[in-house]
Amino acid sequence: MRTNSWIPAVFNDLFDTDYMPKCNATAPAINVKESDKAYTVELAAPGMKKEDFNVHINDEGNLVVKLESKQEHKEEDKNTRYLRREFSYSKYEQTLILPDDVKKDGISAKVENGVLTVELPKMVEEKVKVSRQIDIA
């Protein structure tokens, strides 16, 4: 089998330019679980801290999860100049429509080991007994 090593280089030169930069954007993975008492939303964001997240209920009653992180790696040396500097900026926003049975004032969130966990407790329905004695007239 013959390999053409020039093909990847041609595509890199063609597509990796200032006019068409590489796109490495990925969205965090989200898991949604349901139990009898609550829904649980898990969002994987390795390396992110509690301060990088914003979780709130919007005017329409939907859950909004925002993630924003800026990192810049600098090494200052007065005798050299930069040929390459690396920095990263991550921004992500997801709106989740909440089911009607979510108790919105009981929602809680925590970040642990790079995973944001949002607990959405369900409203407890009080079951009314429908059995009763009917008087005969």
Residue type, 31: N
- Token pair in block for residue 135: 């008087």
pLDDT at 55: 94
Q: Which of 8-17, 20-29, 58-67, 117-126 is least confident?
A: 8-17
pLDDT of 110 > 60? The answer is: yes
Instruction: Please state the pTM of the whole predicted model.
Output: 0.63
Picking from 110, 115, 86, 94, the residue whose alpha carbon sits closest to that of residue 27 is 94
Backbone phi and psi for residue 67, each to the nearest 5 degrees, phi listed first: -135, 130
Calpha distance 89→68 (Å, rounded): 8
Mean pLDDT of 21-40: 79
Residue with tokens 């349901």: 34
Calpha distance 85→132 (Å, rounded): 77
